[in-house]
Amino acid sequence: MTDREAFDEVAAAYLPEHVTVRVKAGLFYSLVHAALAVKLREQPTGSSVGLIEIGHAAWRQLTPIEQAHTLDTLFTAYIRRVIDEDRERQLSAAAADDTKTYLEPDDLPLLAECLSYVEVIDDGTQLEGVPASSLHNVLSEIDLLRHRLAMTKRDDT
């Protein structure tokens, strides 16, 4: 997998649907890795590495045209960070509210019913294009989270 394919895959997995990624990450990505490797060799173990210094070292190796194209990558990374921080704030606010849930009363039974029609759940089994194993994993995770929450509440009393 190329740097570009890896970047696109990671970005696509985390960006909201309305955000499209169109960047050419490969060259700057490689230069940052090279500058980081140099800094890590130069620094004593356990000392911090200056991130801005690494960024500048990589940036100076680009031509003005490459710098212009690399801005897309930098904007994407920064905007991704802003989106992540916003999502973290939303989740923290929701988590602080004991009554908050994203599930509607019928969601879990309806999802479980979808799986009840599946005879074998393996890597190839899909429901409307969604791997049945993923749906099963989500339902199992919700059960586990609810069980852990119940255990915590019992321990608190």
pTM score, two decimals? 0.53
pLDDT at site 85: 95
- Euclidean distance between the first and final Cα of the chain, in Å? 52
Q: Nearest to residue 135, comparing CAs of 145, 146, 121? A: 121
Q: Where are the alpha helices (DSSP H) in the chain?
A: 3-14, 26-42, 51-60, 64-96, 107-116, 132-156
Please report, in tens digits, the pLDDT of each residue of the chain (157 residues total). Answer: 665 565 555 555 555 555 554 444 588 889 998 998 888 888 776 667 788 999 999 999 999 998 988 898 899 889 999 999 999 999 999 989 888 888 888 999 988 888 888 877 777 888 888 888 888 889 999 999 989 988 988 877 6
pLDDT at site 125: 82
Q: How far apart are CA 123 and CA 125, in angstroms?
A: 6
Domain ranges of the chain: 3-96, 107-156
Please say whether the beta carbons of 46 and 26 come within 8 A: no
pLDDT at site 23: 45
